[in-house]
Amino acid sequence: MLEFLVQRALISVLTLTLITLAVFTGVRLIPGDPARVLAGTDADEAGLEEIREKYGLKDPIPVQYLRWVGLLLRGDLGESIRTRESVARIVGLKLPITLQLAAYALLIALLIAIPTGVYSAVRRNSAWDYLASGLSLGGVSIPNFWLGIMLILLFSVRLGWLPASGYVPLSQDPRGNLERMLMPAFVLGAALAAVLMRQTRNSMIDVLGADYIRTAYGKGLSRRVVVFRHAIRNALVPVVTIFGLQLGALISGAVVTEQIFVVPGFGRLIVEAVFTRDYPLVQGVVLLTASAYVLINLLVDVAYSLLNPRIRVGGGAR
Amino acid sequence: MTAARAEAPAAAAALPAAGLVPAGRRRGRAWRRLVRRPPALAGTVVVLFFVGLAVGAPWIAPADPDRPDWSQIRKPPSTAHPFGTDDLGRDTFSRVVWGSRISMRAGVLSILLAMAVGVPAGLASGFYRGTLDQVVMRLTDAWLAFPFLVLAIGLVTLLGPSLTNATLAIGLGATPTFLRLTRGLVLATREEDYVQGARAIGAGDLRVMRRHILPNIVSSLLVQATVSIPAAIIGEAVLSFLGLGVQPPAPSWGTMLNTAQQFLEAAPWMAWWPGLAIFLLTLSFNLAGDGLRDVLDPRDY
């Protein structure tokens, strides 16, 4: 177990190193003086000199890289060109909003996917199963931003039930918060629900065909007990890994969703940073999302190995 | 722009056709199997319909997709303009028709790019294993850590927004999938008796890979391509919607939705059609892909 954890952690460190190398190279590929790139076009000579000093831009490239990584490790992601605020601070302000949106989306996805998937597997090839599979295929195929626009058209423009955009903190106005988050969370959760549902159904079907399920029926247990006590717990183990795999889609989805519903979160920040050519901000955001992806996948692997001891034996190779 | 438009249909037409025609004698059986699956057949027909739309856009579209008409601003659907007109008085139907070219081009070219990079790298990685495999796999790990949109955002920041860069970003984002799939298939195939036999009679590495391994994994790669193309089409639409892909006035479904969002109350039809087109095309690709998987799955033979 320890060996497996150490091995996975080492691979993650290696991956993170490659990510920093990729981002560092990317920023250096931007044409022009790197100091100008990091300080912005309207920085004066003193400002440029300060940047050169901080990042050691007169040193050889490998030294510059190491110095930059050193700053990253101390949490210094640089300053936004536009607002002069530290990138870490800006992200710290925006991230909770997106995490909240993601949490709602996840909740909606789970509430839809797990019961539907389990029921479809139990009543395999019934009308209900076909309907659920059809909806799942639709959920994967529908472009989330169009779904969002159609929801706004229906619930905000036509019916006037929900506000089309904006954000209110939960602590300030819980009702307003939920009203504004419902549509974006549903849009973000719909694709995830479709994927989760399919995975739940398939893994539930596998489990229901297993010997120990036949044994459970054989000793006279009712279907309800077999499904809830024996099958679901084992069927949900593979579903856990889907989270790690879907994380990238969730991040991409948040960017789009926040853009449609004007939610002032991390996703909107990314797009704004590109349009204002705020290179330090883009760099910080790209670094943070990639690192988060690696760390969360590490956690998923660990969680999976705790849930499923078989995977540990082969050192994670199978 | 004209030249770019002209080369798209050829590529767009090539892939679905190639996907539906596996090795000669299987053809009849594969086709019969497809016909027996109505959803897959319907999906294939709709995909072919969109291919026809992309190829025939100049003849099908009744109006110039980029020409504004100040007397026809934001008119609801009518006989003259079946899908209505947009904020500049352009015919939405014509723009949706021309938009199918951009979508097909981005979807097919990006996946071809992903395969052109991913398949050889996966072949080499799985065939030679060892250090090369380790290096390639670790690079893929890092590569995968950049979610598609974040990768695209990085590239667009570096290179600027355009259809070509969007296609490049989508292709690079899809590459690890093909790399890993190919590697896995090669690992399974290289131990087969016929591969060992070919090596025993002295076939070189390249020959073994090309003549003995590749033909046996190509159907799985094709299935992956059919399910990747709709994702790539959505990817292009998303990037263009965010303003990071195709730039106006070019008629991309994503850009059209971006504009439509500003006029939801006054001209909701502007938002209906481009989105419906994306939905229909990706849904059909997914249906066709599911069918193709069943048809080509070698386990059934």
- Hey, which residues 48-77 in chain B have their CB within 8 Å of chain A? none
**Contacts of residue A259 in chain B, CB cutoff 8 Å?**
241-242
Stretch among A113-122, A168-177, B40-49, B239-248 having the lowest mean pLDDT? A168-177
Tokens of B114: 């992903």
What average pLDDT score do residues B107-115 get? 94
Task: Provide the whole-model pTM.
Answer: 0.82
Q: Cβ-count burial of B11 within 10 angstroms (0-12 exposed, 13-18 middle, 19+ buried)?
A: middle
Average pLDDT, chain A: 82
What average pLDDT score do residues B86-94 get? 77
What proportion of chain A, given as a percentage, has pLDDT over 70?
96
Tokens of A28: 């250096």
Identify the pLDDT of residue B1.
35
The one-letter code for the residue type at B254 is G
Q: How far apart are the CA of A135 and the nearest CA of chain B, in angstroms?
A: 11
What average pLDDT score do residues A249-257 get? 85
Residue B247 has pLDDT above 90, yes or no: no
**Contacts of residue A289 in chain B, CB cutoff 8 Å?**
146-147, 150
Identify the pLDDT of residue B281.
92
In angstroms and rounded to an integer, the radius of gyration of the C-alpha atoms of chain A is 24
Residue A14 has pLDDT above 60, yes or no: yes
User: Which residue in the set A142, A274, A289 is minimally distant from B147, CB to CB?
Assistant: A289
Band of the pLDDT at B118, cuts 50, 70, 90? very high
Average pLDDT, chain B: 80
Asked if A290 lies within 8 A of B150 by C-beta distance, the reply is yes
Q: How far apart are the CA of B195 and the nearest CA of chain A, in angstroms?
A: 24
**Contacts of residue B136 in chain A, CB cutoff 8 Å?**
none
CA dihedral sign of residues B22, B25, B28, B32:
negative
Identify the pLDDT of residue B18.
40
**Contacts of residue A30 in chain B, CB cutoff 8 Å?**
157-158
Residue A143 has pLDDT above 80, yes or no: yes
C-beta of residue B105 within 8 angstroms of C-beta of residue B167: yes
Helices B130-144, B163-189: inter-axial angle, 10-degree rounding:
140
Q: Is A43 helix (H, G, I), strand (E, B) or coil?
A: coil
Band of the pLDDT at A222, cuts 50, 70, 90? confident
Task: Return d(Cα B238, Cα A270) in angstroms, integer.
Answer: 14
Q: How far apart are the CA of A180 and the nearest CA of chain B, in angstroms?
A: 18
At B203, give phi and psi (nearest 5°): -70, 140
Band of the pLDDT at A279, cuts 50, 70, 90? confident
Asked if B157 lies within 8 A of A294 by C-beta distance, the reply is no
What proportion of chain A, given as a percentage, has pLDDT over 90?
3
How many Cα atoms are found within 13 Å in the side-chain-facing hemisphere of B56?
9
Identify the pLDDT of residue B27.
59
Question: Measured between alpha carbons, how far is residue A18 from residues A107, B139, B254 in Å?
Answer: 33, 7, 33
Identify the pLDDT of residue B168.
92
The model's pLDDT over B119-154, given as tens digits with 9 standing for 90+, comes to: 999 999 988 888 888 888 888 888 888 878 888 888
Tokens of A267: 């996703």
C-beta of residue B178 within 8 angstroms of C-beta of residue B125: no
Residue A101 has pLDDT above 80, yes or no: yes
Residue A312 has pLDDT above 70, yes or no: no
Nearest to A201 by CA among A236, A244, A229: A236
**Contacts of residue A270 in chain B, CB cutoff 8 Å?**
149-150, 153
Identify the pLDDT of residue B25.
53
Specify the DSSP element, H or E, that contains B177: helix B163-189
Q: How far apart are the CA of B199 and the nearest CA of chain A, in angstroms?
A: 27
Band of the pLDDT at B301, cuts 50, 70, 90? very low
- Which of A141, A202, A251, A255 to probe by mutation at the B interface, max B CB count within 10 Å? A141
Identify the pLDDT of residue B8.
37
- Interface A-B, measured as beta-carbon pairs within 8 A, has a size of 131
Q: For the beta carbon of residue B131, count every other beta carbon within 10 angstroms.
A: 8
What average pLDDT score do residues B101-105 get? 90
Asked if B268 lies within 8 A of A141 by C-beta distance, the reply is no
Asked if A149 lies within 8 A of B287 by C-beta distance, the reply is no
Task: Return d(Cα A11, Cα A16) in angstroms, integer.
Answer: 9
Task: Return d(Cα B158, Cα A28) in angstroms, integer.
Answer: 10
**Contacts of residue B271 in chain A, CB cutoff 8 Å?**
146, 149-150, 153
C-beta of residue B86 within 8 angstroms of C-beta of residue B92: yes
Asked if B158 lies within 8 A of A145 by C-beta distance, the reply is no
**Contacts of residue A138 in chain B, CB cutoff 8 Å?**
283
User: Which residue in the set A138, A146, A248 is minimally distant from B148, CB to CB?
Assistant: A248
**Contacts of residue B282 in chain A, CB cutoff 8 Å?**
141-143
DSSP A124-190: TTSHHHHHHHHHHHHHHHS-HHHHHHHHIIIIIIIS--S-SS----TTT-HHHHHHHHHHHHHHHHH
Asked if B150 lies within 8 A of A285 by C-beta distance, the reply is yes
At B171, give phi and psi (nearest 5°): -60, -45
Residue A107 has pLDDT above 80, yes or no: yes
Residues 6+ apart with CB under 8 A from A272: A278
Stretch among A131-135, A136-140, B192-196 having the lowest mean pLDDT? B192-196
DSSP B298: G
Identify the pLDDT of residue B206.
82
In angstroms and rounded to an integer, the radius of gyration of the C-alpha atoms of chain B is 22
Q: Is A117 helix (H, G, I), strand (E, B) or coil?
A: helix
Band of the pLDDT at B110, cuts 50, 70, 90? very high
Task: Return d(Cα B95, Cα A109) in angstroms, integer.
Answer: 35
User: Which residue in the set A252, A274, A277 is minimally distant from B148, CB to CB?
Assistant: A252
Task: Return d(Cα B114, Cα A159) in angstroms, integer.
Answer: 44
Residue A90 has pLDDT above 50, yes or no: yes
Band of the pLDDT at A310, cuts 50, 70, 90? low
C-beta of residue B120 within 8 angstroms of C-beta of residue B181: no
Question: Measured between alpha carbons, how far is residue B3 from residues A115, B7, B9 in Å?
Answer: 51, 7, 11
Q: Which residue did the predictor score with more confidence, A247 or A219?
A: A219
Asked if B242 lies within 8 A of A255 by C-beta distance, the reply is yes
Nearest to B251 by CA among B282, B283, B273: B273
Tokens of A124: 């395999």
What average pLDDT score do residues A97-126 get? 89
Stretch among A188-202, B59-73, B152-166, B233-247 having the lowest mean pLDDT? B59-73
Q: How far apart are the CA of B237 and the nearest CA of chain A, in angstroms?
A: 8
**Contacts of residue B146 in chain A, CB cutoff 8 Å?**
19, 22, 286, 289-290, 293
Residues 6+ apart with CB under 8 A from A2: none
